[in-house]
Structures are given as structure tokens and as C-alpha cells.
């Protein structure tokens, strides 16, 4: 499991796969394909624990992504 920074909106250097598990789009056990949307940077990124993954907080960063969940 790699590091992710943020909740719902993640820094663009976060692990896409780990962020997808954190967001509930896939599981560690099953994996799968996910869709992300590239987004502008944020002033700050909030930490949280979701789906067994603990994300980290971060300050200003220049680029982001969002995991698309339907």
C-alpha cells in the first residue's frame, strides 16, 4: 500500500490504486479498473481513514486528481 495525501481530492503524486481503495472504488483484494479526473491543485488536503486506508494531510500542492465513483 502506497501513500496518499488527501480525501476525495488527492495530490497528483498520490498512488492512484491506493486512492481508489481509500475512495471505495476498488478493494485491495480484487483491484480493478478505475477512472480519475485530473483537477487543479488545492490549498490543503485533509487526512482520513476510509476502507482500511489512512491518508495523510498536506498543504498547498500544484495538481490533484479525483477518483470517479458511480
pLDDT digits 0-9 by tens, 1-50: 899 999 999 999 999 999 999 999 999 999 999 999 999 999 999 999 99
Identify the structural domains of the chain with CATH numbers, from first to last: 6-68 (2.170.130.20)
Calculate the CA 17 to chain-centre distance. Answer: 8
Question: What residues pair up with 45 in beta bridges, in sequence order?
Answer: 58
For position 41, what pLDDT does the model report?
Answer: 98
For position 63, what pLDDT does the model report?
Answer: 99
For position 1, what pLDDT does the model report?
Answer: 85
Residue recorded with cell 500544484: 62
The sign one gets for the Cα dihedral 54, 30, 68, 35 is: positive
pLDDT digits 0-9 by tens, 45-68: 999 999 999 999 999 999 999 999
For position 70, what pLDDT does the model report?
Answer: 77
Amino acid at each position: 500500500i502506497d501513500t496518499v495525501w488527501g480525501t476525495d481530492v488527492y495530490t497528483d503524486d498520490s498512488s492512484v490504486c491506493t486512492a481508489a481503495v481509500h475512495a471505495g472504488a476498488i478493494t485491495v483484494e480484487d483491484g480493478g479498473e478505475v477512472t480519475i479526473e485530473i483537477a487543479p491543485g488545492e490549498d490543503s488536503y485533509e487526512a482520513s481513514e476510509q476502507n482500511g486506508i489512512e491518508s495523510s494531510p498536506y498543504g498547498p500542492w500544484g495538481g490533484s486528481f479525483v477518483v470517479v465513483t458511480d
